[in-house]
A and B are shown apart, each in its own frame.
Chain A
């Protein structure tokens, strides 16, 4: 069984390893860009099916964001980042379930290297997404509170306030780690589960597990975006 935590290298460009997970990230980007392009060039007042599906999804997400932020203009400011994270994560997770992901292989001498690998099954991708979300949270804190944002962490107004500040600092550091590992763990564990079940009983038995993975992939995208939204909202106002 081909299970490895490290994404396998396909080829090298300069000194940079191009791994199969990186390649799948490009495929995901291509899918999203092509769909967006198709909808954009056929934009009609009476929408076609694809356009109305996308409009319904985006409006649904905007309403969910409204519930947390409370105001439509703040929602519109956060909307691009959150929906991009959501769409990228869900597309990457669902693409990983297609046949060919993990089964189309190259033979490099003795090693067998799969051509495609789920994008979020590589810790590098999830750490990158987590860093994007965390930097966005910190920048929002500085933007809405100025330098008083730093008094959240370093506060000399009292002994207990000082320790709360240190606790807040630790909590800020664990946020990107928890984002990255939550997404990686869910998707990688799902992949391992599918590989094991398919190698035991290839006919019919993987079906409920693939359904579970579809659900989990969607929920993880939603959780990532909602968590980023909640943290963004929290940094906007000081307690």
Chain B
């Protein structure tokens, strides 16, 4: 293979890898956040007085779960740009 086609191959595999990294990496956190939000809303429906407490804890835990998706995004960006 000559240098030109090796370069093109490398670029296309990089694009594929970045797409897979973020695509597969966002499945878990997406499902996790759905479960988290559904439980939080259920709790808020059962006990409307505790709603502010539940809401602030929910936002905090959403940030935790989102961090995992962000790790996947960072890997995708590193593959593309570094």
Contact = CB atoms under 8 A, between A and B. Distances in A.
Interface stretch (B5-13, B27-35, B38-46, B63-71): B63-71
A220 B73 CA distance: 16
Interface string A185-223: 110110010000000000000000000000000011001
A188 B77 contact: yes
A188 B70 CA distance: 10
Interface in B30-82: 56, 59-60, 63-64, 66-67, 70-71, 73-74, 77-78, 81-82
A182 B67 contact: yes
Given A219-B59, A220-B63, A226-B60, A185 B70 contact: yes
Interface residues of B, number: 15
B63 A185 contact: no
Contacts of A184: 74
A6 B82 contact: yes
Contacts of B82: 4-6
Given A178-B67, A181-B67, A226-B60, A189 B81 contact: no
> Chain A at the B interface: mostly helix, strand, loop or mixed?
helix
A185 B66 CA distance: 10
Contacts of B71: 181, 185
Given A3-B81, A4-B81, A189 B70 contact: yes
Contact of B74 (A3, A64, A181, A223): A181
Nearest to B53: A67
Contacts of B67: 178, 181-182, 185
Nearest to A64: B56
Contacts of A178: 67
A186 B70 CA distance: 6
A5 B70 contact: no
B60 A5 contact: no
A188 B77 CA distance: 9
A5 B81 contact: yes
Contacts of A220: 63
A186 B74 CA distance: 9
Interface in A167-192: 178, 181-182, 184-186, 188-189, 192
Nearest to B62: A219
Nearest to A1: B81
A6 B60 CA distance: 29
A63 B8 CA distance: 57
Given A181-B70, A186-B70, A189-B70, A5 B77 contact: yes
25 contacts: A3-B81, A4-B82, A5-B81, A6-B82, A64-B56, A181-B67, A181-B71, A181-B74, A182-B63, A182-B67, A182-B70, A184-B74, A185-B70, A185-B71, A185-B74, A186-B66, A186-B70, A188-B74, A189-B70, A189-B73, A219-B59, A219-B63, A223-B60, A223-B63, A223-B64
| Pairs A-B, 7 closest by C-beta atoms | A185-B70, A223-B63, A182-B67, A185-B74, A5-B82, A189-B73, A5-B81
